[in-house]
Structure 1
Amino acid sequence: MTKIYRKTAAIKAEQFDGSQASLFGYEVMPDSLLDALTGEPAYYSILIDDFEPEPDDFEDDNEVSFEIGDWIVNETDEIKVMADEEFKQQYDELPVIPKAVAYMIKQAKNGDYKLGVALYGSYEGVWKPNVVKWILMHTEVFARAWLDGYQVEEEK
């Protein structure tokens, strides 16, 4: 029987909009091919290895080429390029949660709490009032953050 799986590992990705001078610390280099309408480079690339390939090495594995709108994905063992549509089909951004909620998740997991206990604690008012209010208003986001990881909201 065929089973369906989803990716759960967190990755780093950046959508290229043409203005970035570097991606993941690699310099963005415009291709010499120009777009006929805009006069801007049609493609860009980054050199991910700074070594000189052997003359008989026909593959240029150390250069990644892309165009505006593509996503550059930095997975654990490789950098790859994905079109916007393909990227959105495969990856979801980690939820953004308040610092107090992130602290609560960390403490609850350190106490070996399960997701159900954490949610029940919210309904019973066990956590700080601002945390309880946020969890009750964003239950699905909280559950996703608990299960898959999260980003902490930036201070205003």
Structure 2
Amino acid sequence: MPSKRNRQRRAAEGALPTTLRAIGYATPDHAIPIDLGLLTHEERHRPVRELTLVHGDTVAIDFPTGAIEDGCLLELDSGRCVEILASDECLYEVRGTDREHLWQLRAYLLTRYTEIQFEDDRLLFPRDPAARKALERREAKVSEVCEPFFPTSPEPAQPT
């Protein structure tokens, strides 16, 4: 739903929010997107029937979708398109003293969470103060960050 301030601004400009209709995915060589939709990880991975764009318009999604990927283009019935991007989320960034320590922290987190973003030198997961305290007791450096979240599925691999 567009914010009250956004609706007021658009009304003052003479442009009331409209509902657009997405009929499928557009190809990257399609026209330049007319607007952006920002979705969290959870929103990108559940069935979406309607979403509000950055400038206040709404898009009704009239085709079956699975997960909506970051950077995808939705084709509108007008022939134009909108781009979907991952929005920033409030996360914890976890760093270990070395790679082996990071893998131990990863193993601990996997007992509590299924959605963790694994990178070579850090882990990201949704903020949970209890988990932060437990990680800090394990000598992890935990920081608050806000950035797009792309969790990966756990792999049984070992550190190299």
TM-score by shorter chain over 0.5 = no
Q: Hey, which of these two has a bigger chunk of helix by percent?
A: 1
Q: Which has the higher contact order (CA 8 A, sep 6+)?
A: 2
Which structure shows the higher strand fraction?
Answer: 2
TM-score under structure 2 normalisation? 0.29
When Rg is computed on C-alpha atoms for both structures, the one with the higher figure is 1
